[in-house]
């Protein structure tokens, strides 16, 4: 994801430099679109990874050592990310998950 973000930033830099030299700006829409589309998948994968690693702690660590704020934040962020992913899958017609 970092590389896509870097490429998106470079595209903006190139466009800025092209405008400073009175050249026509090159369209890097495909870079921005790829980043936007991949971001949902990246967030889904990282959320699942964080949830799975946190779940082990929630189930097996001492109850008094759990951080309730972190637990609540992880669960809330997971549901939010899953909701966005489900919405994307539905709009793309991906229903057999």
- C-alpha distances in angstroms, 36 versus 5, 11, 78? 10, 14, 19
pLDDT value of position 4: 60
pLDDT value of position 80: 92
The residues spanned by each domain of the chain are 2-91
Distance CA 56, CA 50 (A): 10
pLDDT digits (tens, 9 = 90+) for 25-38: 777 677 777 777 88
pLDDT digits (tens, 9 = 90+) for 1-16: 666 666 667 777 777 7
Predicted model pTM? 0.62
pLDDT digits (tens, 9 = 90+) for 18-70: 777 777 777 767 777 777 788 888 899 999 998 888 888 888 888 888 888 98
- For a pLDDT cut of 90, what percent of the chain falls above it? 11
Chain centroid to Cα 93, Å, comes to 20
């Amino acid at each position: 994801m970092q590389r896509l973000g870097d490429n998106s930033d470079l595209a903006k830099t190139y466009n800025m430099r092209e405008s400073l030299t009175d050249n026509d700006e090159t369209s890097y829409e495909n870079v921005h679109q790829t980043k936007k589309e991949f971001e949902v998948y990246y967030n889904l994968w990282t959320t699942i990874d964080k949830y799975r690693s946190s779940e082990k702690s929630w189930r097996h660590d001492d109850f008094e050592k759990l951080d309730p704020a972190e637990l609540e934040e992880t669960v809330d962020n997971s549901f939010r990310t899953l909701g966005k992913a489900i919405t994307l899958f539905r709009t793309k017609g991906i229903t057999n998950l």
